Amino acid sequence: MTDDLRIGVIGVGIMGADHAERLARRTARARLVAVADPDEVRAKELATRWDGVRSGADALELIAADDVDAVVIASPGFVHEEQVLACLAAGKPVLCEKPLTMDSESSLRLVRAEREVGRRLVQVGFMRRFDPEYAQVRSVLAGGSLGRTLLLHNVHRNASVPSTDFRSEMIVRDSLVHEVDVARFLFGEEVVAIQVMSPAPTSHAAEGVVDPQVAIFTMAGGGLVTNEVFVNSQVRYEVRCEAVAERGSLVIGRPSTGLYSTSVAVGGGRWGGSVPADYRTRFATAYDIEVQAWVDSALGGEAVGASTWDGYAATAVSTAGMASLASGERVDVHLVSPDTLS
């Protein structure tokens, strides 16, 4: 390995292009060397932005390349398993975008495959763990000064999503999965049950798509988490979280005073700052810290951030969430015992 970590990025749509830019321009000790995407034109167009970056169509070829020390996977979730397995087989550190995979069985296969390697090589891209606000909430709650954590209330709104593939199930598996990780991260416990409710949908959702959705998680210690996920809200990007503990509450992602309107018609969509357009602005700092931490750990230290177990535990909640979305009933989450893994 040279001094800098030589990195390949797989999947250069919205998130992959954002990570490639971050790696090429503002991540210390990182060197972007290759990008791969079956959309070769897209990959080539991106690679030409920087000197010395090559492009190709084949993800597995990129992973195997001698001049690639580590890999960022930003392809769609349904191809993550094969690509993460290839990274594990090659012994290369990998930052895999969330969700780890699309169902709990495949995520569990990755947990087991990494255990067989014998060391942590995978970081899952749950970037909110690196967001300074979420990190502060976690640190206050873990410090115990507010007593036991009782409740979390999450709001997660996207202005819109691609109507072609973003069906009701994707809202659970691709969007709500962030709240699952936040709940586990802030409570420090597993989610044991989930109930997904289907309010009357917005007229902006594609035909048959349940949007917004309201989900309730039950935590292992009995705490509850309420979540609104609304992916066609038409009003830019809103992610808020309130943690309620025995001696007070903590709120992030909200204005401090005055009328808060996300409508451009009322208050101009501003509250003394602007509502971020999407995750790339709202979580820019979180992604920067996340990717830097991944590079630093790949170059020398212990892996950081969400592990394959965290990815699996989140996916297991999504799998139960899909069943609940279909039935409207509360569904228990099934996790294997960590003891059975070693």
Ligand X SMILES: NC(=O)c1ccc[n+]([C@@H]2O[C@H](COP(=O)([O-])OP(=O)(O)OC[C@H]3O[C@@H](n4cnc5c(N)ncnc54)[C@H](O)[C@@H]3O)[C@@H](O)[C@H]2O)c1
Write out the residues near ligand INS by the rule CB under 6 A. 158, 161, 174-175, 178, 231, 279
Task: Considering the complex, state which of residue 64 and residue 146 has its C-beta at the smaller distance from ligand X.
Answer: 64
Residue 252 binding target from ligand INS, ligand X, none, CB below 5 to 8 Å by type: none
Residue 231 binding target from ligand INS, ligand X, none, CB below 5 to 8 Å by type: ligand INS
Q: Are 158 and 232 in contact (CB under 8 A)?
A: yes
* Minimum distance, C-beta of residue 178 to ligand INS, in the bound complex (Å): 6
Task: Considering the complex, state which of residue 106 and residue 158 has its C-beta at the smaller distance from ligand INS.
Answer: 158
Q: In the chain, where do the E strands start and end?
A: 5-10, 30-36, 54-56, 70-73, 94-96, 122-124, 149-157, 191-197, 213-219, 224-230, 238-245, 248-252, 331-332
* Minimum distance, C-beta of residue 213 to ligand INS, in the bound complex (Å): 11
Query: At how many degrees (to 10) do helices 177-187 and 132-143 cross?
Result: 30
Q: Which residue is nearest to ligand INS (CB)?
A: 175
* Minimum distance, C-beta of residue 282 to ligand INS, in the bound complex (Å): 8
Matching residue, tokens 């949908």: 201
Task: Considering the complex, state which of residue 155 and residue 245 has its C-beta at the smaller distance from ligand X.
Answer: 155
Residue 39 binding target from ligand INS, ligand X, none, CB below 5 to 8 Å by type: ligand X
Residue 75 binding target from ligand INS, ligand X, none, CB below 5 to 8 Å by type: ligand X
Alpha carbon distance 316, 309 (integer Å): 10
Sheet of 122-124: strand order equals 54-56, 30-36, 5-10, 70-73, 94-96, 122-124
Contact positions toward ligand X, by CB under 6 A?
10-16, 36-39, 42, 59, 74-77, 79, 97-98, 125, 127, 174, 279
Task: Considering the complex, state which of residue 130 and residue 149 has its C-beta at the smaller distance from ligand X.
Answer: 130
Torsion angle defined by CA atoms of residues 320, 321, 323 and 327, in that order, rounded to the nearest 10 degrees: 130
* Minimum distance, C-beta of residue 171 to ligand INS, in the bound complex (Å): 8
**Which among 178, 157, 165, 174 is positioned nearest to 209, based on CA atoms?**
165
* Minimum distance, C-beta of residue 174 to ligand INS, in the bound complex (Å): 4
Task: Considering the complex, state which of residue 182 and residue 243 has its C-beta at the smaller distance from ligand INS.
Answer: 182
* Minimum distance, C-beta of residue 200 to ligand X, in the bound complex (Å): 27
* Minimum distance, C-beta of residue 161 to ligand INS, in the bound complex (Å): 6
Residue 59 binding target from ligand X, ligand INS, none, CB below 5 to 8 Å by type: ligand X
Task: Considering the complex, state which of residue 195 and residue 307 has its C-beta at the smaller distance from ligand X.
Answer: 307
Task: Considering the complex, state which of residue 5 and residue 36 has its C-beta at the smaller distance from ligand X.
Answer: 36
Q: Which residue is nearest to ligand X (CB)?
A: 13
* Minimum distance, C-beta of residue 337 to ligand INS, in the bound complex (Å): 29
Radius of gyration, CA atoms only, the chain:
20
- Please report the sign of the dihedral spanned by the C-alpha atoms of residue 249, residue 254, residue 257, residue 259: negative
Residue 175 binding target from ligand INS, ligand X, none, CB below 5 to 8 Å by type: ligand INS
Q: Are strands 191-197 and 213-219 parallel, antiparallel or unpaired?
A: antiparallel
Task: Considering the complex, state which of residue 11 and residue 311 has its C-beta at the smaller distance from ligand X.
Answer: 11
Residues with Cβ within 8 Å of 258's Cβ and at least 6 positions away in sequence, in order, are 271, 272
For residue 243, what are its two tokens?
């943690």
3-state secondary structure 137-160: HHHHHHHCCCCCEEEEEEEEECCC
Q: Looking at this protein, which amino acid is placed at residue 252?
A: I
Q: Looking at this protein, which amino acid is placed at residue 170?
A: M
